[in-house]
Structure 1
């Protein structure tokens, strides 16, 4: 009898059982098999150490969800003993540009400012095709999935330069990678809306094609307020969330986030709006900064810090006491504003480096944002898990009973080690199925074999 193509057990775990049957009895009927299979778990992860937990527990998974936490119960199609290692919810990439990733070999010159990066990328975009975008996006998705990312929001540029080629490519990748990652697509107006005639119509078409939300970039347009109004109008028309690139400068010369907060509350879109970068907030005097942070909290706006890009492009004109250029993560968190860390760009004029591994961002931000205490280190992990999931409005996310079984098994025992030690991933689980299994082999020949001569 088989409930699936086969059963599998890794390391130590509860074996897969079959119902008792007397010798010589007739074969199981289809009804008996169906009844039995409903009682078989899809996956049993044994000996898991959960965030905040002390003793290891077993996770029973069926139908893509965690259905039990505690001692192992019932047979499973696949059983894995994780040996007391840490298990967390899957990583959540809250802001990335797959369509303009990996451009190092086709861009000449280095970006000194955000405006330079936009200009250089716009030149490269003239040579983009759907096939090219898909190929580069696939390479980054492979990196992210292997690193434990199970949900991602990708900004897809829609404008008179690239038209809808990015949407075509990303929709194909969304279907292809569905077994491994949930991909949200944001129709994004990088080149502006008013200064790039035809963009609004293209945004509408992208939403009709299946974009999950709409995004804007008011600092790169001729009328920031009208730009913001158009994005909110589209969000309301299609009943989708909105996500803005905003206030990306060393000095508080834009502060468009104030208008975004006003429009958020006017339209009733609290909890459905995110802003990325927001580096200008750090340049405000403490009292004014605190007031604006309070407005963001009241409007239910999530903030996405993009540390690699912001550290790279901000502070370029400072000759002494060079600014770090990060939004004030600690003050935002203290006020109850959810803050995510995200990759933004991978190896292009905005960010010449990148691995699509969100753990690396926690490592960098621990130093750059002075977040080294135990409580702040836990907040850094939350910035690539629970806070990011909240900003993306992911339902049933976490490690509790009833949560979606999107999980990462880490090669460590404690939550803080994700930040402090960058441990390898052992397993990645998506919707209750093991999607990635890492094998690590190190031979210290100097210990066991000595040296010749």
Structure 2
């Protein structure tokens, strides 16, 4: 394992410059820069940059990534045309096709400081091609990124032929997390039954749960209450995630107040996907038009764990994206109106610490002695500065080894004389 000493770093909550020693792939010591260490190995100069825990991607679909425009573009930009375009592209799937596209986006993620990824993979397919491909990718990329695979029943569990059997087969093949999509099932009763089945499987195979939940503008879509109630009943909240929950933005205040009590009691996690939610939701509205993002600000105020994900990158549902979590964060802060100074300064947690808790990896995430020696160096004074200037990841260190670095760009203007622009005041 690699040893590395990082000098001249800043750490949240610490005064002055710090040095961080990684030995045998783990954080060994974190000391003031002036402390003399008996060390003669490799060093890395953070140049006053901010050391933070690696970014996590808690929600992405790597089986569909890099397919935008293949074979044709989603002209309307709607969810429904995206489904039509994907149906066309799905006919071309092969193991190598899925692997090559997933690896390309994973490389983008690694370059952007992501070291932990949870990908949803469509298992509404008797061949389970995408799942088998992602299981291979998980193994082949494990040196550089940790991947959790969600068995995602895109077309429902009860509403798709042999949906239950396919979901269990996916778990047996190696899926880490069990998914569901209750609001897409044919009936409300099917949706409720699908959630009960998911908890049954999760307990049988000791798996996590991550549900596409209430991703619709229908204020009557309230499957999150059943998800939270089951998590509370079985004491599994820390292992359960509700993704999207966009319908929550349409709930009336009285119901939402009652719901939040249950959400706090259950301890479940939430993922909002601001780039895609703001793009796809509200399509049936004239004006006023819904923002289409769940109640992130209220969750933060209620100490409910919530984080941000991409959902899609360069695919039929979302044609943009470079897998940069700071872009996700930037959009989320605006849409959710989380724009106070302290809120912005602490907002990196929404793509790091909170995400790690959602992935249930908090015990091995963070810059603390004894934990895996993985971190990022951001060329920023603090979280506020990093978000405002959308800084690149200067270095991504994994288990003491640099796996990505970005050379800072230099911009000059020529207004009679050359002047460097840093976007600082």
Q: Residues 50-449 of structure 1: matches in 2 within 5 Å?
A: 50-70=11-31, 71=35, 73-106=37-70, 107-110=72-75, 113-160=78-125, 163-222=127-186, 223-394=190-361, 395-442=363-410, 444=412, 446=414
Deviations 1:49-106 (A, max 9, x none): 0122221110011122211010352225320111111110000100100001122121
**Residues 68, 401 of structure 1: 8 Å contact kept:** yes
Distance in 2 separating the partners of 1:72 and 1:86: 21
Distance in 1 separating the partners of 2:183 and 2:64: 19
**Residues 427, 436 of structure 1: 8 Å contact kept:** yes
Residues 52, 287 of structure 1: alpha-carbon distance in 2 compared, 3 angstrom cutoff: farther
**Residues 237, 269 of structure 2: 8 Å contact kept:** no
Distance in 1 separating the partners of 2:411 and 2:251: 53
Count of residue pairs brought into register by the alignment:
410
Distance in 1 separating the partners of 2:334 and 2:206: 39
Distance in 2 separating the partners of 1:275 and 1:117: 22
Residues 212, 446 of structure 1: alpha-carbon distance in 2 compared, 3 angstrom cutoff: same
Deviations 1:153-182 (A, max 9, x none): 011111226x32112211221122212111
Distance in 1 separating the partners of 2:416 and 2:175: 56
Distance in 2 separating the partners of 1:441 and 1:72: 33
Residues 443, 262 of structure 1: alpha-carbon distance in 2 compared, 3 angstrom cutoff: closer
Q: Secondary structure at the match of 1:425?
A: coil
List runs of 5+ in structure 2 lacking aligned partners. Answer: 419-425
Distance in 2 separating the partners of 1:233 and 1:378: 41
Q: Secondary structure at the match of 1:331?
A: helix
Runs of 4+ in 1 over 6 A off after TM superposition: 447-450
What do you get for the CA RMSD once the two structures are aligned? Answer: 2.0
**Residues 56, 115 of structure 2: 8 Å contact kept:** yes
Distance in 2 separating the partners of 1:203 and 1:317: 32
Deviations 1:84-136 (A, max 9, x none): 11110000100100001122121444455544433442342222111111111
Distance in 1 separating the partners of 2:77 and 2:19: 51
Q: Secondary structure at the match of 2:237?
A: coil
Distance in 1 separating the partners of 2:340 and 2:22: 34
Residues 53, 247 of structure 1: alpha-carbon distance in 2 compared, 3 angstrom cutoff: same
Distance in 2 separating the partners of 1:72 and 1:351: 51
Residues 72, 66 of structure 1: alpha-carbon distance in 2 compared, 3 angstrom cutoff: farther
List runs of 5+ in structure 1 lacking aligned partners. Answer: 5-40
Highest CA radius of gyration, 1 or 2? 1
TM-aligned CA deviation for residue 400 of structure 1: 2.0
Which residue number in structure 1 is paired with residue 421 of structure 2? none
Residues 330, 448 of structure 1: alpha-carbon distance in 2 compared, 3 angstrom cutoff: same
**Residues 77, 317 of structure 2: 8 Å contact kept:** no
The TM-score normalised by the length of structure 1 is: 0.86
Distance in 2 separating the partners of 1:57 and 1:176: 35
Distance in 2 separating the partners of 1:95 and 1:359: 15
More displaced 10-residue stretch of structure 1: 246-255 or 140-149: 246-255
Residues 445, 291 of structure 1: alpha-carbon distance in 2 compared, 3 angstrom cutoff: closer
Distance in 2 separating the partners of 1:92 and 1:255: 28
